[in-house]
Amino acid sequence: MSLINNKYKLIKKIGSGSFGIIFEGINIRTQEKIAIKTELISNELRLLKYETNIYKILGNIGCVPKIKWYGKDQTYYYMVLDLLGDSLENIVKFYGSLKIKTILQIGINILNILMNIHDKGFVHRDIKPENFLLTITKPKKIYIIDFGISKPYLIDNKHIEFKMTHKFIGTQNFSSINTHEFREQSRRDDLESLSYMLIYFYFGNLEWMNESIGFLNKEDENIYVKNKKKDLVNNEKIPKILMDFHKTILALKFEEKPDYNLYIKNFKYELENLLV
């Protein structure tokens, strides 16, 4: 498995997902560094092919890695794409927390990214700091990754219908309250996850993280985290700009189109006041 498609060489493991390992690699013909995501053929999930197709659909919007090759050998499926650098999670862990100025700048960037993805008819469904990476070249730009559980919310230009689901989809620390309640996700849920991210950046933690409580089962843990998220609106330590955004997103209806440009405008206005 050291040479893939006669030109991609594996260098080192840089991460792992729910269905495979991610490697840093190099194109031995061009010396370009790349990322290689793998999936065992024996898993029979075919999630990597699904994700590759989404990357191709979204590939021209910017801030989404470009697919360079998809294929397989006897053991693995491979997806080769742009190599990126540190995640926002790594940066928060390094600094402990971020300044409100930096948080607003990140918020503006991610709102633009999500607006473009949503305009293509998809919801990401796993918005979290680990899924936003910085470019390895300067000036640093934020890219979004990991579309393995993404889903179209538009079918033939018609919004999907609301329904209840049977399982939890996403990452508990940053998922929406609707997700905890097993409701179908839409655009509002990606943005609610973003609001938890921005608050997380401010404190370097969230109240429901790293709890030493011994939950008897996943159901009890799910209810605990959901209730903590519902209580968040009473937290007076959260900066007003972040709380206003959070409450605005919570008020969105299932099919409602978020006013991305207004949120961006509000963040920019606050940012300009900070810089005065």
| Given the residues 82, 126, 146, 190, the one annotated as active site | 126
Catalytic site includes residue 190: no
Q: What DSSP string describes 182-214?
A: TBPP-HHHHHHHHHHHHHHHHHSS-TTTT----
Q: Provide the token pair at 12.
A: 């080192």
- DSSP for the chain, written as a single string: --EETTTEEEEEEEEE-SS-EEEEEEETTT--EEEEEEEEGGG---HHHHHHHHHHHHTTSSSSPPEEEEEE-SSEEEEEEE----BHHHHHHHHSS--HHHHHHHHHHHHHHHHHHHHTTEE-S---GGGEEE-SSSSP-EEE---TT-EESEETTEEPPP-B-SS--S-TTT--HHHHTTBPP-HHHHHHHHHHHHHHHHHSS-TTTT-----SSHHHHHHHHHHHHHHGGG-TTS-HHHHHHHHHHHT--TTPPP-HHHHHHHHHHHHHHHH-
Of the chain, the end-to-end C-alpha distance in Å amounts to 55
DSSP type of residue 100: H
**What amino acid positions are annotated as catalytic residues?**
126
